[in-house]
Structure 1
Amino acid sequence: MRKSSFIRESITIEPNLDIGFVEVTPEMIRPYTPYHWHDSYEIIYVMSGSMTVQTLPVSKTTYVSGSVICTPPYQIHDITASKDTHFILAMIPSEVMRKYIPDLDQITFMIPKVVTSEIERTKLETLQKTMYQMLVAITFQEHGYLLRFQSSFFELMYQLYHNYSHYNKPATQIDKNYERLQQILSYVQDHYTSVITIDEISSYVNLQPQYFCHFFKKYMGQSFLSYVYEVRISKIEKDLLQTTDSIGTIAERHGFTNIDLFRKKFYKKNQCMPREYRRR
């Protein structure tokens, strides 16, 4: 709507609706969203441009115009989007889905990236059309739009359940590791503006410091400190574009007390300085 960094991302639920729903145009695009997770189903319809989603353990998939992506709750992932990406995002809370799909916890919704038959193509086109109808209803808000939106929402859930549900395998040790990663990411989200030591975070998840560093690097593909910097820079990028606060104020707000270190990390990620980034 790029969701990235081991953090829990909150999505505002629309008034009078059961879900979060938003259209993201190229002007609104954040090229990169660090690793993060939701407690909702994230459904994205890529209307134009392209989007790469990387999940843990490391699996990277690029989606092009016409793709529909379903990321389940608690799946840690990041998102990278091209500057011309235009998409629709629906966030459906698990408790809402569970009211109508009793066996929700036993299934995963798997939408193929590539359709190879006319039947699959028809199913995908129906899914695209349903999400677009939801967008039209919420955008123009004509008389009875809530009824139109909710009827399309129920149709969306039905299509996911009827056409794309697969039963899960039993839980494994990998699932337990994901739970620990979620704890780590949530902690970073809550404390990234302060110094987080390895002793502090490893104690929080009941791991020895040395093993914690190995564990985090194995599953995240980067050091813990690099990840914290990534989260801070992602927050700063947003404030640079959405506020008129000074660069120093923004950097300090998000945990950088050393302005030279901040500029170095920012340039490494964006290949430009903060002032230039703001003028884009």
Structure 2
Amino acid sequence: MQKILTANNFEVIPLDEFTQVRFYTSVDPGSYVAPHWHDALEMVYLQQGHLRVCSAGAITELTPGRCILINSGTVHSTFCSQPNRAVVFQIPEAFLQHYIPEAALLEFSFADPARTPQEQAQAVEIKQILLKMQKINDERPEGGILEFNSLLFAVLLRLYQGFGHKLLPSEAAEHKGSLKRLRQVLDFVQKNYQRPISLDEIAAVAGFERKYFCRFFKRHMGETFLNYLNKFRLSKIYSDVLYSTESISAILEHHGFVNYKLFRRMFAEQFQTTPSDLRKSRQAQLSSSPPFAAAGAMS
């Protein structure tokens, strides 16, 4: 899925003028988005293709007809090796808090397939509503904004009643504080990833000593800092391999990946292919007709 990120890997959620949420049909020709988060609840309902989502340390392989929910503030990454099409629905925390006073303490345990028949029936209902919202978004009928908003709240009500549970205030406060420190770290990575970054340097950015920083980062991001840094570089390299004509060596140099042996190993582990084969596959894909067309977001 293609996303708009700020300098610190904090995702920008454009707010629709009439709905105050973001709802659109995503058509992604192929991408890798490194671990990031945003202050919004996110639902992705895959319609065509395949999408791998790594969220809260768990990997979900989305296939057509499946839906995933990612809680606000949850670190996640996405990868699709082939074109896919999905409904994407993002609800900012501020919107939730306006209608649900305890929203800052809420987490949603939505899963598809669900854990129980009752929850699965609710999940099916939510997906059916998302399809109705998509139809309105695409066709823009008279009175569509009113109908769209009524369906929006129907989804929220089902999520709140069927899948919501409260965190302890201390848990929520700790999580918010950790995200604040992580933003400083990821901002620094975004600005400096093309050069070497030592653990001592990045620990100082977070205001920690080196050992504590390593534990802190792994606990909240699910991996070591150096692994994250190289994955971030990989996300930039992957895009350039697909969409530029630069040589592979020039792309690596531009994005600061100096260890070619490590790069080859990580690229193969992450994408199950080589850079040259990926580029050939993309060129072959472009020579054929596109599998599906994009639909615009509601404005």
Normalised by the size of structure 2, how large is the TM-score?
0.74
Match of 2:91 in 1: 92
State the Cα distance separating 1:128 from its structure 2 match.
Answer: 0.6
Match of 2:238 in 1: 237
SS in 1 for 2:20: coil
Task: Structure 2 unaligned segments of length 5 or more: list them.
Answer: 282-299
What amino acid sits opposite 2:42 in the alignment? E
Match of 2:287 in 1: none
Normalised by the size of structure 1, how large is the TM-score?
0.78
Match of 1:148 in 2: 147
CA RMSD of aligned residues (A): 3.5
Moved more, 96-105 or 260-269: 260-269
SS in 2 for 1:8: coil
State the Cα distance separating 1:229 from its structure 2 match.
Answer: 1.5
In structure 2, how many angstroms separate the alpha carbons of the residues matched to 1:16 and 1:247?
Answer: 45
Within 5 Å, which residues of 2 pair with 1:1-12?
Answer: 1=1, 7-12=9-14
In structure 2, how many angstroms separate the alpha carbons of the residues matched to 1:79 and 1:185?
Answer: 17
Match of 1:22 in 2: 24
Q: State whether residues 81 and 271 of structure 2, in contact with CA within 8 Å, keep that contact through their aligned partners in structure 1.
A: no
Within 5 Å, which residues of 2 pair with 1:72-111?
Answer: 72-81=71-80, 83=82, 86-111=85-110
Task: With a CA cutoff of 8 Å and minimum separation of 6, indicate the structure with the bigger relative contact order.
Answer: 2
Task: Structure 1 unaligned segments of length 5 or more: list them.
Answer: none
Identical amino acids, percent of aligned pairs: 28
State the Cα distance separating 1:206 from its structure 2 match.
Answer: 1.4
In structure 1, how many angstroms separate the alpha carbons of the residues matched to 2:119 and 2:68?
Answer: 15
In structure 2, how many angstroms separate the alpha carbons of the residues matched to 1:152 and 1:253?
Answer: 46
Give the 3 Å change call, closer, same or farther, for CA 190–94 of structure 1 in structure 2.
Answer: farther
Give the 3 Å change call, closer, same or farther, for CA 14–104 of structure 1 in structure 2.
Answer: same
Within 5 Å, which residues of 2 pair with 1:149-188?
Answer: 149-172=148-171, 175=175, 177=178, 179-188=180-189
Q: State whether residues 196 and 256 of structure 2, in contact with CA within 8 Å, keep that contact through their aligned partners in structure 1.
A: yes
Q: State whether residues 54 and 79 of structure 1, in contact with CA within 8 Å, keep that contact through their aligned partners in structure 2.
A: yes
In structure 1, how many angstroms separate the alpha carbons of the residues matched to 2:159 and 2:202?
Answer: 38
Q: For this pair of structures, how many residues does the alignment match?
A: 275
Residues 227-255 of structure 1: per-residue CA shift (max 9 Å, x gap): 21111111222233344556566445534
Match of 2:193 in 1: 192
Match of 1:69 in 2: 68
Match of 2:279 in 1: 278
SS in 2 for 1:108: strand
State the Cα distance separating 1:201 from its structure 2 match.
Answer: 0.9
Q: State whether residues 44 and 69 of structure 2, in contact with CA within 8 Å, keep that contact through their aligned partners in structure 1.
A: yes
Moved more, 237-246 or 94-103: 237-246
Residues 167-208 of structure 1: per-residue CA shift (max 9 Å, x gap): 223424963555544443343234323432222210011111
Match of 1:128 in 2: 127
In structure 2, how many angstroms separate the alpha carbons of the residues matched to 1:240 and 1:134?
Answer: 35
In structure 2, how many angstroms separate the alpha carbons of the residues matched to 1:279 and 1:109?
Answer: 41
